[in-house]
Amino acid sequence: MTNTAINPTQKLSQFTDHWSPKVISSFNNNDIMVVKAQGEFNWHSHPDTDDFFMVLKGKLTIKLRDGDVHLNEGELYVVPKGVEHCPVAEEEVHLLLIEPKGTPNTGDESTAAKKVEL
């Protein structure tokens, strides 16, 4: 346990790669992560967990098979478990993500980015 506040913006300044979530904290067996994203990710789903996205900077579109969700800075959206989705960022966006430890970001362990702790 530490008595130090975590600044997501400061953590985001430590890397430049896209679509590679960085763990900045955890709670109740969940990872709290930040990620920089640009361009289109792949279509995927998470069969056992919801997918939490919060925009810290920029804009994100989450494509769903039945319509898109557009998120602006300060907004969040939770993709229900099992729902296929595809995040898209026309320009670089900074996101806060929360998911159970061990959840692959692509929904498939073989194609998922390795989680790194900052």
pLDDT tens across the length of the chain (118 residues) = 568 999 999 999 999 999 999 999 999 999 999 999 999 999 999 888 999 999 999 999 999 999 999 999 999 999 999 999 999 999 999 999 999 887 765 555 655 566 677 8
Q: 12: part of which helix (H) or strand (E)?
A: helix 8-12
| Secondary element (H or E) of residue 72 | none
Token couple for 53:
């996205």
Identity of the amino acid at 59: K
Rg (CA), the chain: 14
Question: Which amino acid is located at 103 in the chain?
Answer: T
Please report where in the chains the tokens 């896209």 appear, as a residue.
18
- CATH numbers and ranges of domains, the chain: 8-101 (2.60.120.10)
Q: Name the token pair of 15.
A: 């890397």
User: Whole-prediction pTM value?
Assistant: 0.88
Please give the pLDDT value at position 105. 59
